Chains A and B, each alone.
Chain A
Amino acid sequence: MLTYNTAWAINDFLNTLLLFIIYFSILPKSKSKLNYILVFIICILLTLFDTLSSNYPDLSSFLVVFIAAFFIRSNHSLTDRLLVWLFSLLLTTVTQGLGSVVIIGVLPSLSDPKTAGQSVILFTTLSILNYFFSLITLNIFQSFDKRYHLRAFIKDNVIKRIILITLIILNLFYLSLDNLTKYLNIEQRYFKITTLMITVTIIFMTVSITMLIYSHFREMQTKLKLQQMNERDAYINELEKRNNELRKLKHDYKNLLLSLSVSANDNKSLKPSIDKLLNYKRMNLTSDSNKANLYSIKDKLIKGILISKLIYASNNSIKVDFEVDTKANIPSNYSVDITRILGILLDNAIDASHEAEKPELNFALISFDGYIEFVIKNSLKSSNTIELNKIYTAGYSTKKNHSGLGLATVNEIVNSNNNLLLQTKIKDGYYSTILTVLEDQ
């Protein structure tokens, strides 16, 4: 009986120690000599407590969390420490249970030791199994942490609280079940059922908590994105304002230079230098303010296609000029149709201007009373021969190996819509298309 008790006490000591090992490996910052000594003392005290009051076998489990949280020093926040303590406790108790179930299942003769040797074997196996399961779980957890950065994920306070509550519930649930079976001295197969139940519960809880956290995370991401978008809009507004101010300033400065050249008319040496200053090309900002104006288009689809084509064209060394009337209001019910048409027309314009001697692409969105106009204008190769009244028929194309379906599609969309009108014009080496969108009467 003495061997049994000693073996049991050593097993108990090792189990308590395991809890601290797990705690320190999750929070490595708490590692210190003082803490090691404290842990050692606490483990011995708790083992003594367990041997003396064997009537309440799980009371020590509660005590260990409180004592440890109180004595073990670390600079982590209380919630963090509690989280890790509860996690360690749950892990060790569940693996203990698992170890017992394995022994009952595999070596039923050991479960009720008769001799001293048997009890030594029983508790050694129990401890080994317990350490084995715990450390494997810990390893899995840490490799997950490395790959998916769980810690960064858990930093959010709401998520932390959710996990904390879950851990408290699971711990209480397990300990009360465990105590109940032990206190009522129910048969061993009930003990198996208890362990099974707790395992299923843990899996179920983990899955649901993961889903909860995931949805919360998504919500945070959307919030963040929305905030970023608002910030970007504010930034663009600010940029536009600055641009306007700069433009006004430049207007004034050019006016001044010009009037200065009036007064300097007699001075032969001064006038050319003023003219040079006046025509200083680097002071031209037009393209940038154009881009800022593009951002003021409210329709996201149309803004998207315009910005992407603008960037594509300027990357392909085409001289691009995009003008946007900031007052223009695009009817949202035509947004998809307009986007399709603009996509095709801009692609054609980019292709055609690319072949031209001076690649040039101009775009304008203009608002009028009762309608808006999209103007797309590009330079043409001087040898170009386009048969204007054929371009909107399917199969006609000036490009080699090209289906010629683009403009036919444009024609189809425009024809099925009374409020969309198209004008095409070739003049002075430029090809221009105007899409008129009438407002609904």
Chain B
Amino acid sequence: MLLNIIICEDNEELRMYYQLMIKDYIKKHPNISMKIILSTGNPNDVSIYMESHPNDIKFFLLDIEFPDSKIKGIDLATKIRQQDLNSKIVFITTHEELTTLIFDRKVEPLDYIAKEIGLDGIKKKLYQDLDITIERLIPSSDQNVEKFNFKISSKKYAFDINQINYFESSENNHNVFLHSTNEIIEFPDTLKAIEDRLPNFYRAHKSLLVNPNNIKSVDSKEHKLVFKDGTTCDVARRKLAALKKCLNK
């Protein structure tokens, strides 16, 4: 598997220096095949490359402000993300251009490198990011976890199924809440449709679809389910027995 590295930085000297750093890194890791496939100051070149090589594994090092071009780094990165969910993007820029929340939501970059930290700092962070990228390149057993896929408008989400405690439908509208230990996400869907997609899950209530793998115990007195992380939720009384049976399997 070849890792294609793309650099887009408008300052020529800096671009050369990044190239040197990365080439150095490549030399130090001879058993991993990677290559600087494109190094440019023009974001349009990156777009063209993206279109002609959709299936490559890519690592992007992007500046955000290009004074000579109408395309902003953020637009370029959004475009990259839309075409390829798996490519790694690292922004290298000055403090002022960083609007991290917006970037996080739009691009989910691997990292931000601020130019203020100086060349040595940049080198250190860049090598760390490359390490992470390589690590994730090698498919490992715990990375092959099952994902639950859903969409909010045009954006795709993939959520680790093992993390899900339960799904809950709301009374008044056609949305479903996904409950995990640290996250609640509302998205447009129906419990019925999710139930069909996740046969392991158990419909404990008209408005409740639970993940049996995460249930710790069933509290028959209080009609409650207790999950492994300590959270609880109410269950219909007549479903309790069936649920217990299902859990004991």
For residue B140, CB closer than 8 A to chain A, the reply is no
Please state if A388 and B182 are interface contacts (CB–CB under 8 Å): yes
Residue of A265, A414, A427 touching B186 (CB-CB under 8 A): A414
Q: Closest approach, in angstroms, between the C-beta of A247 and any C-beta of chain B?
A: 5
B66 to A: closest C-beta gap in Å: 9
Nearest residue (CB) in B for A412 is B172
CB contacts (< 8 Å) of B119 on chain A: these are 258, 261-262, 265
Residues on B with C-beta less than 8 A from A392 are: 184
Asked whether A369 lies within 8 Å of B154 as measured between CB atoms, the reply is: yes
**Interface size, B (range):** 35 or more
Partner of B118, one of A259, A261, A438: A261
Q: Nearest residue in A to B184 (C-beta to C-beta)? A: A424
From A252, A258, A285, A370, B153 is in contact (CB under 8 Å) with A370
* Separation of A371 and B10 alpha carbons in the complex (Å): 32
Contacts of B175 in A (CB 8 A): 415, 418, 421
Q: Are A366 and B96 in contact (CB under 8 A)?
A: no
Contact at A323–B101, with CB atoms within 8 Å?
Answer: yes
Q: Are B116 and A278 in contact (CB under 8 A)?
A: yes
* Distance between B23 CB and nearest chain A CB, rounded to angstroms: 15
Complex CA–CA separation, A274 to B13 (angstroms): 16
Chain B neighbourhood of A422, CB < 8 A:
184, 186
Give bound CA distance, A263 to B11, whole Å. 14
Partner of A416, one of B11, B65, B96, B173: B173
Contact in complex: A259, B182 (CB < 8 Å): no
Q: Which of B96, B102, B155 contacts A284 (CB 8 A)?
A: B96
Once the chains bind, are B188 and A418 in contact (CB under 8 Å)? yes
User: Are A364 and B105 also in contact (CB < 8 A) when A251-B97, A262-B14, A371-B152 are?
Assistant: yes
CA separation between A375 and B102, bound complex, in Å? 9
The reply to whether B184 and A279 form a contact with Cβ atoms under 8 Å apart is: no
Residues of A contacting B99 in the complex (Cβ-Cβ under 8 angstroms): 323, 364
Distance of A416 Cα from B67 Cα, bound (Å)? 46
Q: Indicate whether A351 reaches chain B with its CB closer than 8 angstroms.
A: no
Question: Contact partner of A247 among B65, B102, B186, CB < 8 A?
Answer: B65
Give CA–CA (A213, B98) in the complex, Å: 54
B115 interface neighbour in A254, A323, A373, A375, Cβ under 8 Å: A254
- Asked whether B183 lies within 8 Å of A423 as measured between CB atoms, the reply is yes
Q: Counting CB contacts under 8 A, is A187 at the interface?
A: no
In the complex the two chains form, is B153's CB within 8 Å of A368's CB?
yes
**Are the CB atoms of B182 and A286 closer together than 8 Å?**
no
Do B173 and A258 touch across chains, with their CB atoms under 8 A apart?
no
Bound CA–CA A260/B119 (angstroms): 10
User: Given contacts A258-B119, A423-B185, is CB(A373)–CB(B173) below 8 Å?
Assistant: no
Known: A259-B14, A368-B106, A415-B171. A286 touches B184 (CB 8 A): no
Could you say which residues of chain B place their CB within 8 Å of the CB of A434? 105
B11–A259 touching, CB < 8 Å: yes
- The verdict on A373 contacting B182 (CB below 8 Å), with A247-B65, A254-B94, A418-B173 known, is no
- Tell me if A424 and B183 are in contact (CB < 8 A): yes
What is the chain B residue whose CB lies nearest that of A418? B173
Chain B residues near A377 (CB-CB < 8 A): 101
CB pair A258–B115 under 8 Å, yes or no, is yes
Bound complex: CA of A424 vs CA of B14, how far in Å? 40
Asked if A357 is at the interface (CB within 8 A of a chain B CB), the reply is no
- Is the CB–CB distance between B182 and A421 below 8 Å? no
Docked CA distance A111–B115 (Å):
102
Contact with B along A37-59 (1 / 0, CB 8 A): 00000000000000000000000
Task: Provide the A106-119 mask, 1 if CB < 8 A to any CB of B, else 0.
Answer: 00000000000000
Q: Give the CA-CA distance A427 to B10 in the complex, in Å.
A: 35
CB pair B171–A286 under 8 Å, yes or no, is: no
Say yes or no: B96 contacts A286, CB within 8 Å.
yes
Please encode chain B, from 149 to 168, with 1 for each CB lying within 8 Å of some chain A CB and 0 for all others: 00011110000000001000
> Is A329 in the interface zone, CB < 8 Å from B?
no
Name A residues whose Cβ lies closer than 8 Å to a Cβ of B. 247-248, 250-252, 254-256, 258-259, 261-263, 265, 274-275, 278-279, 284-286, 289, 321, 323, 325, 362-364, 366, 368-371, 373, 375, 377, 387-389, 392, 414-418, 421-427, 434, 436, 438-439
Mind listing 25 A-B residue pairs with CB under 8 Å? A247-B65, A247-B97, A248-B65, A248-B67, A250-B94, A251-B67, A251-B94, A251-B96, A255-B14, A258-B11, A258-B118, A259-B13, A259-B14, A279-B118, A285-B96, A286-B98, A323-B100, A323-B101, A364-B99, A377-B101, A388-B182, A389-B232, A392-B184, A436-B153, A438-B188
Q: With A389-B233, A423-B185 given, can you name 6 additional A-B contacts, CB distance below 8 Å? A: A259-B11, A286-B98, A364-B102, A389-B231, A421-B187, A427-B183
A-contacting residues of B (Cβ < 8 Å)? 10-11, 13-14, 17, 65, 67, 93-102, 105-106, 115-119, 152-155, 165, 170-175, 179, 181-188, 231-233
